[in-house]
Amino acid sequence: MFLDTQLVPVGEDDGYDPLVEFQVTGQAEICGYLKPLLDRSLPVRISSARGQTITTCLWSLDAAHNTLNFAADVDPLALEGLLQAGRAAAVAYDDSVKYQFALAGLKLVEGTPANSLQCDIPEVIYRFQRRNYFRAKAGERGSPTARLRHPADPGMALTLRVLDVSVGGCGLLLPKGAPEIPAGTSVTGVRLELDPDSRHLLSFMVRSASQMLDGNGEAVGTRLGCQWTDLPGQAERALQLYVDNLQKRRRMLARR
């Protein structure tokens, strides 16, 4: 749920940011990502360093004056505590993507017909794929692969094509004729190869197994719907980045 969202630590205090690969910088690109929040009145959760929290929405985005304005029709006590805290950050969702950014220069602006909460346009926003939500379809060329031993026959080595992938799980193609891997099966020692430079040793649980057909209605194998178990932090970040890059490439191709 939206209200269960927590801020992701970004390492601002010591100057080192381990999530630098998820940063978006540059006013034009940042405004491009924030505009759907404005156009669709998507909820934005603003939290202070002291724990005060309000849920509001973006009212205006003024690139010329470098300002964002949020609706201020929220609980007055929570709003006052937020303004007194000095530091605040915002979290918002746009479909499959979670955005997080610091709010600098936060102040209450009186206006007609209503007041607004104003701050500077952030210099950096963080863009994360929502866990267990969005799955990017992998193309046939250069598709990621999963190398594993068949759980019912450890002597059988399998190299399975990844059909789709997310930070929550993946879809794998078990070829026609291979022994079944039924739903409920736990598989360990899976070597996921996203690309030649990104390889990770993971585990998953098979949640579903369904027949796959080609364009002529002929069976080509079984699609295994898998959920990662005990996903290491480094692998989760690599998956987020991989899915994010897939989305960016497809968005660019769609504009041509």
Pair (39, 100) in one structural domain: yes
Determine the Cα–Cα distance for residues 68 and 240; give it in Å rounded to an integer. Answer: 27
Pair (174, 156) in one structural domain: yes
Domain containing 22 equals 2-129
**CATH code of residue 94:** 2.30.110.10
Pair (82, 152) in one structural domain: no
Pair (125, 143) in one structural domain: no
Domains: count for the chain? 2
256 residues of the chain, pLDDT tens digit each? 333 445 665 555 545 455 676 788 889 889 988 998 998 888 899 998 788 888 899 999 999 999 999 998 888 888 888 888 878 999 998 766 788 999 999 999 987 678 899 999 999 998 876 544 455 566 555 678 999 999 999 999 999 999 888 888 888 999 989 999 998 999 999 999 988 888 999 999 998 888 887 777 777 889 998 999 988 888 888 888 888 777 776 666 655 5
Determine the Cα–Cα distance for residues 252 and 183; give it in Å rounded to an integer. Answer: 37
Q: Which of 100, 129, 158 is the last residue of a domain?
A: 129
Q: Which of 129, 157, 173 is the last residue of a domain?
A: 129
Pair (140, 120) in one structural domain: no
Determine the Cα–Cα distance for residues 23 and 149; give it in Å rounded to an integer. Answer: 37
CA-to-CA dists, residue 212 to 157, 163, 243, angstroms:
21, 11, 23
Pair (125, 173) in one structural domain: no
Angle ∠(9,12,18) on CA atoms, nearest 5? 60
Residues 161-192: b if buried by 16+ CB within 10 A, e if exposed: bbbbbbbbbbbbbbeeeeeebeeebebeebeb
Pair (120, 150) in one structural domain: no
